[in-house]
Structure 1
Amino acid sequence: MKRRFGNIITVFLSLGLISGIWLPSIQAASKDTSGIKWSTLSDLQSVDLNDIAFNNDHVYVTVGDDGTIMHSRDGKQWLRSSQPNSLVGNVESLATNGEKFVAVGSNGILLNSKNGITWSSGQLVNAPVNRDFYRYYDNTYPKKYSLVGWGQKVKLSDFNFSDIIWDGKRYVAVGTWQLQVLWDHPTVITQYYTATSSDGVKWSIKPLKYDNNKLKKINNNIYPTDPYKINFNGTKYVILAGQVAFSSPTISETWEAKIPGGQLNDVLIHNGSFITNTKQDLLISKDGLKWNKFDGSLSLINKNKSTVWSEQSFFEGKKINKIINDGKQHIAITDDGFILLKDALNEDYDQTDWTIVRETNTSDFTNIVFDGKGRYVATGYKYISFMYSTASIWESTNGYDWAKTEIEDASDYMQWTNLASGNGSVIAYGTVTAGPKPPRNQYLFSSKKGEWELKKFPSFVNRVDGIYWVKGQFYVAVNGGFITSKDGINWSKLNSSNITMTKIAASNSYLLGLRAPNTQNEYGDLLYNSKDFTSWKKSEINLNKFSNEYWLTSNSFSDINWNGKQFAVLGDIPAVATSTNGLTWKTNKTISRLNRLAWNGQLYVASARSDGNEVGKMYYSYNGLNYSQSSQVTNQNLKTDVIWDGEKFIVGGENGTILIGEPSK
């Protein structure tokens, strides 16, 4: 592997990385009715890149998850493209007729651009109503789902586009139509479809209908998955859906379904025939109906093709999602957002021949804190295929500019399970996933940015269940009891407690805690109350009355908060509760399961659980009982606590996502 460091520095300057610091590049800023403007630090992210193409002017465009679109003039220096503020979802596929780029993706993403820099949204024309679209598959429709407006026109956001091509006359896309039918249950109705447009702006959509009885006669145990690839050889279209290939001479309502043999990965055109690859074989077909083994080689297929297949599908543990050849160079895109180059004459796809021109931080943020004195700390964790997991600590002095901190004494394979801060000090604790195991009572301590020391809890500590700052001191749940420290260095003796807590919220006279799982296999996150940290009683809050689905029945809780006047808790089901004394409670149902909670003096802000379409959403409430959805700007899983620093909300998540919420001033 070669790294041309001069080129890399130039590229990172354009992306916002200077001297190891990620400068803020705000993307998808959107203000909701609460006055909060939400945005992501896009250049800190390491989302997957899914497709790449170039036009007649040799402008390159690559697209990826979480609304990522970038452009380049040479394939080496990449810049973010301008896109609609309402764009939320993964951009899955890209096509061009040489003059216009068109991109499609989840949540109804239909975009077009003449230059690859500025993008506009497309629209459905003559859209059918939900009832009629569903009736293509059945003579009736499930009226019992009252949440669905069956007489209403289909919504673009219910269409998840997976692939797009230019067939010489028009753009053709495929995907899956999904209707969520219950608020408190992830039940969805799914149907397959094709969409066409001559200009990439106005789109017509049709169901993809096939004879399931014929397919069962071929193999009664194989069913099509969501369609994900389409191609056209001049006379026939072929769509791949798992082990099933659909074929049709036109974009019609009825397609022939065949089972070529094995999981079908991609489909290209070679000398007028379709070529598809499975784990074992290359298969060839002239009409998409009759498939045979292909006797040629990958190098034969790749010769003079703009899209390249490679037997080497991974680079440094990252999956290579596509390789293109512009006649001068090969450009590859990968999971985690890497972009690679090599000479076009080099047909050897060994890892060592690639030059990295864009690389990312590749961290999922799992914890985030504000120390109260102008410093932010986040812990990162990333599992890399076929390699060990890696860990990192990131610091910032403003919440926007983040730098990865190198800590010599800490293992690269640490999984940071706890992060707590107070009075300018930060404690990080974790477990090692590989290599030598450090003592279980070892932790990292820092009172100054960039300076971290290995410390040890008292020698009797062999289990840590939670660390947090409460009532002016660090509280560490250990060995079924707890220890405390005002400075994070000098610790008390072991204090007894009848219940071990993973998190505590405290008023002047009362404590609320979330219980840790115990050795009797009792679930954790049940709510308890106490006056002294040692004697805890279970708090009786019945939230199950809000759930009519057995799988959601739970009296566990995901977060607790004291705002100076009342406690607020988030249920493990779509329900919340508040109390002024921790004993008597008001409860209410929510439309989403909420995960983490913060208060800024005027309103609560909560992140949603990673349930289906709720991934990446934020909610707000003025009283802790009635929550409304904020403007959504990311579809990444938000994993950390939500913090308030006196000026803005911050929450972190997977693939290096940092979400900022700035209230109106």
Structure 2
Amino acid sequence: MKGIQKFVILLCFVLSVTAIPGHSFAKEDYKFTKQNAFFGSDLFDVAYGNGVYVAVGGDGAIVRSADSKTWSVVSSGTTVRILSVSFGGGVFVAVGEQNLILTSTDGIKWTKQTLAITKKNVPSWVETQKGDFAKSKVQTNSSVIWDGKQFVLLTQMELYVFKPDPYYPESANKVYNPSGYAFVSTSLDGVTWKTTQAASSIYNSSKIKYINGVYYIFSEYKALTSRNLVNWTDYSDAEYTDVAFGPGGLVIAYDRVESARSRNAVIVTDSLLNADAAKSKDLLEWSESGGPNSIDYVYDRYIINADGGYFLTSTDAKTWNAINMFNEEPSFSMEPIEDPGAFSLGDINTDRARLFKTIWDGRQFISVGAFGGIYTSPDMKSFEKHPVEGGVSPIGSDFYGIGFESGTYYLYGSNGTFLASGDAVQWKKPFNLLKNYSVLSASYNGEDYAFGAEEEDWGFKSLGRVYYFSVNRASLVEGVALSQLMYGLDHPIEVKWDGSNFIGRTRAGEIYKYDPASGWKDISPTNPQLVDNEPIIVSGNDHTVKYEYSDSSGTIMLYYMADGKWVKAEYPVWSEYEKYYLRHLDNNSKKEDTLSTIIYGNNEFMAVGAGGLILRSPDGKVWTKVQSGTSEYLHDLIWDGKQYIAVGNKGTYLTYTPQN
């Protein structure tokens, strides 16, 4: 999992900064606007200072509050992940991918700062491999702290090159060959920085801490300590996550892996030097939660933030309590909900609730986590969920699709999300779905909704899936399904209303037709064909385009029809680096394709996909990039006659209204 997280960090950087060629075919400058009514970006860190709370996270998210109850999004000027924030000397400093450093005195106005790490300004930089300086560089500022006198910044730098695959030299496949370095920089104001090298041959260095005169760096398979930020002691094969100090001693939180299963575990010791000799203690079964995300000593107790909504707390480092925000199962009803109001803990799928950080502000605990999770508690017993900007967001949801039929918009995705609207602004639930259901495809005929969905079974933290088709009538008082086909499906690809019937297709090539009198009927051909990587073909205004996903190249393949033949279009292309990570990033999208959807509307073709990519073309021959303002994967796009609406992961909801 840590390797995948590393891939995500590097991929987001490259997708954000790679120059993509294109041609302008209209004077109007397309620019989508991200609507915060569906705020769902992961929040990785939170800080408090000068009476202001600031939390930072994915997709360039910064949220601010003056009272810890009401939170609003402020402009960060970036779409890359912001990984850490700290307060000191009257200043907030936030850092992240793409060498990002932001400073602010009030949490509202943020200023970008620069940090150049070169051989010239860091003369002590020692290469691991000859020629590293000539390689392409990916620089991630992964963690920042205030040590009481100054800000201390941890930077992970990857230098990479692609080489032919030694196992398949005859193929076009290339392998990623990186070198990794860790640097530390100090600053009094977050503007002017002084940098030294901390280590070479280090990867995914993600956290820096300062405890009792000792600085700690944690990375993949390695930990470092120093008293002066210049001389570092290397603890190889020490795959620790974080460390905290309190009356019980120095407590190391880490992932103890047993038979490929991660467990939350701790080691109580006096130093990293003696950690191997100390006895570890498992805190949760692997069936309950994954490994820890952080540990701090906060207001008279150690607190570990973990997955599944778990906190692990102790006052003496000996006796630990497992606290779960979801200790009461939410009630479930199939009755229509006229006004969803503010979403609460009961609206969250516990398996999607990851907790990253907890602080104490002098009167309460404040925790942040996945999908825009902000929680407060006075005693770590009762918890309150705080929404961002009004609380309309379906918490914990990736949006997989949006539709517009018969004057009704419908929006669907993970975490039991199915919403309907008459104006694409005010959303309601036509019926309830359990939080472990994900709607993969949907259609509407003016009266009934049909959808293909999966039920996520997280038994023993191993995800199993059951697929089904369903038809629901929003007007029914009970809101119960009119018909369901629960088993025998292999991943629904789509459900569509063909003018007279709902037709559902599956990955295995099966076809089902819905009959109101008898339910779903299997009308599959005798020998169904697998529809993996099925081309997308769209026509409009006498033009036809096709998109194909290539496993071998891992990139976009766009064509247009000319004289009865497919001709390769001119479009943005991925670099070798981008192609590599798009091909290997198995949690990037539902179907791993670079593009997810192409539509024709407003006299043009539009496409959306990985890294917040939006492309447009008048005829399918030349495609240009459109500014999306996000780096999240975009799953779907519609044109309703007035505006474009695009939706994607982490509650991403984008709109654009053409001026012409």
What TM-score bracket applies, with the shorter chain setting the length? 0.5 to 0.7
Q: 1:44 aligns with which of 20, 24, 38?
A: 38
Q: Which residue is equivalent to 1:355?
A: 384
Q: Structure 1 433/182 Cα, relative in aligned 2: closer, same or farther at 3 Å?
A: same
Aligned-residue offset at 1:100:
0.4
Q: CA deviation at 1:656?
A: 1.7
CA deviation digits over 1:100-125, x for unaligned, max 9? 00011123321111011221111125
Residue of structure 2 equivalent to 1:652: 647
Residue 377 of structure 1: CA displacement?
Answer: 0.6
Q: Are the counterparts in 2 of residues 47 and 335 from structure 1 also a CA contact under 8 Å?
A: yes
Instruction: Confirm or deny: 8 A CA contact 1:285 1:292 kept in the other structure.
Output: no
> What is residue 181 of structure 2 aligned with on the other side?
192
Query: Following TM superposition, by how much is the alpha carbon of 1:73 offset from its aligned partner in structure 2, in angstroms?
Result: 2.1
Pick closer, same or farther for the CA change 1:392–1:627 going to 2, 3 Å. Answer: same
Conserved in 2, the CA contact under 8 Å of 1:122 and 1:203? no
- Kept after mapping to 2: 8 A contact 1:71/1:81: yes
SS at 1:124 equivalent: coil
Of 561-570 and 437-446, the range deviating more from structure 2? 437-446
Pairwise CA distance, 1:239: 0.6
Q: What SS does structure 1 have at the residue aligned with 2:85?
A: strand
Alignment equivalent of 2:75, drawn from 76, 79, 82: 82
Classify the secondary structure of the residue corresponding to 1:655: coil
Of 51, 55, 60, the residue aligned with 1:62 is: 55
1:315 maps to 2:334: no
Q: RMSD value over aligned CA atoms?
A: 4.6
The alignment's TM-score, normalised by the length of structure 2, stands at 0.67
The within-5 A match list for 1:56-205 is 57-84=50-77, 87-125=78-116, 127=118, 136-141=127-132, 148=136, 158-178=138-158, 187=176, 189-194=178-183, 195-205=185-195
Amino acid at match of 1:173: L
2:532 alignment counterpart: 524
Residue type of the partner of 2:145?
I
Do 2:245 and 2:297's aligned partners in 1 also have CA atoms closer than 8 Å?
Answer: no
Distance 1:160 1:637, change over 3 A: same
Q: For 1:43, what is the secondary structure of its paired residue? A: helix
Whether 1:251 and 2:234 are equivalent positions in the alignment is no
Indicate if the aligned counterparts of 1:416 and 1:430 stay in contact, CA closer than 8 A.
yes
1:449-508 Cα distance to aligned partner (Å, 9 max, x none): 99967434999x9887643245887544489776779x98999998775776xxxxxxxx
2:543 maps to a residue whose letter is: Q
Rounded Cα–Cα distance in structure 2 between residues aligned with 1:567 and 1:377: 27
Structure 2 residue aligned with 1:399:
424
Aligned length, in residue pairs: 527
- Cα deviation, residue 364, structure 1: 1.7
Instruction: Provide closer, same or farther for how the CA distance between residues 439 and 201 of structure 1 changes in structure 2, counting only shifts above 3 A.
Output: closer
Q: What's the secondary structure of 2:616's corresponding residue?
A: strand
Of 201, 209, 214, which residue of structure 2 is paired with 1:231? 209
Partner of 1:340: 375
Contact 1:247 1:256 in 2 (8 A): yes
User: Residues 229, 36 of structure 1: CA spacing in aligned structure 2 closer, same or farther, 3 A cutoff?
Assistant: same
Does the residue aligned with 1:642 lie in a helix, a strand or coil? Answer: strand
Match of 1:626 among 622, 626, 631: 622
Instruction: Name the TM-score, length of structure 1 as normaliser.
Output: 0.67
Counterpart CA distance in 1 for 2:601 and 2:197 is 48
SS of 2:37's partner is helix
- Which of 401, 410, 435 aligns to 1:377? It is 410
1:468 aligns with 2:496: yes
Conserved in 1, the CA contact under 8 Å of 2:596 and 2:607? Answer: yes
Note the alpha carbon deviations across 1:399-430, whole angstroms, 9 max, x for none: 343333334xx666543233124678643233
Q: 2-side partners of 1:117 and 1:450: how far apart?
A: 46
Mapping for residues 492-511 of structure 1, pairs under 5 Å: none
Maintained 8 Å contact 1:313/1:320: no
1:585 Cα offset (Å): 0.7
Paired with 2:120 and 2:622, the residues of 1 have a C-alpha distance of 32
Which residue does the alignment assign to 1:551?
none
CA distance in 1 between counterparts of 2:140 and 2:628 reads: 17
1:598 and 1:122 map into 2 onto residues whose CA distance is 40
- Which residue does 2:438 correspond to in 1? 415
Within 2, Cα distance between the matches of 1:571 and 1:256? 51
Q: Distance in 2 between matches of 1:292 and 1:177?
A: 29
1:503 corresponding residue in structure 2: none
Q: Distance in 1 between matches of 2:483 and 2:217?
A: 59
What percentage of aligned pairs have identical amino acids? 20
Residues 185-222 of structure 1: CA distance to partner in whole angstroms, max 9, x if unpaired? 78473523323333212445554324x6xxxxxxxxxx
In the alignment, which residue of structure 2 is the partner of 1:387? none
CA distance in 1, matches of 2:75, 2:476: 35
CA contact (8 A) 1:617 1:632 kept: yes
Other-structure match for 1:366: 400
Q: Determine which of 617, 624, 635 is the counterpart of 2:613.
A: 617
Q: d(CA) in 2 for partners of 1:162 and 1:439? A: 39
Which residue in the other structure is 2:451 paired with?
A: 428
Structure 1 residues 427 and 126: alpha-carbon distance in aligned structure 2, compared to 1, 3 A threshold = closer
Q: Give 3-state SS (helix, strand or coil) of 2:153's partner.
A: strand
CA distance in 2, matches of 1:173, 1:368: 41
Please say which structure displays the higher CA radius of gyration.
1
Contact 2:451–2:469 under 8 Å retained in 1: no
1:444 corresponds to: 472
Distance change (3 Å), C-alpha of 1:176 and 1:620: farther
CA offset digits 1:74-105 (Å, max 9, x no partner): 22222222322xx1122211111141000111
Question: Are the equivalent residues in 1 in contact too, given 2:597–2:637 (CA < 8 A)?
Answer: yes
Note if contact 1:91-1:106 (Cα within 8 Å) is conserved in structure 2.
Answer: yes
| Residue 504 of structure 1: aligned partner | none
Q: Which residue of 2 aligns with 1:209?
A: 199
Contact 2:59 2:79 in 1 (8 A): yes
Q: Which amino acid in the other structure matches residue 231 of structure 1?
A: K
Name the structure 2 match of 1:587: 568
Indicate the larger mover: 233-242 or 474-483: 474-483
Question: Distance in 2 between the 1:496 and 1:291 partners?
Answer: 61
SS in 2 for 1:191: strand
Aligned to 2:6: none
Structure 1 distance, partners of 2:296, 2:501, is 66
The code of the aligned residue for 2:99 comes to G
Q: Match for 2:29 among 35, 46, 55? A: 35
CA distance in 2, matches of 1:450, 1:192: 61
Q: Does 1:282 align with 2:276?
A: no
AA aligned opposite 1:642? L
Q: CA–CA distance in 1 between the matches of 2:524 and 2:245?
A: 71
Whole-angstrom distance in 2 between the partners of 1:449 and 1:623:
44
- What residue number does 1:385 align with? none
Q: Is the 8 A contact 1:51 1:333 kept in 2?
A: yes
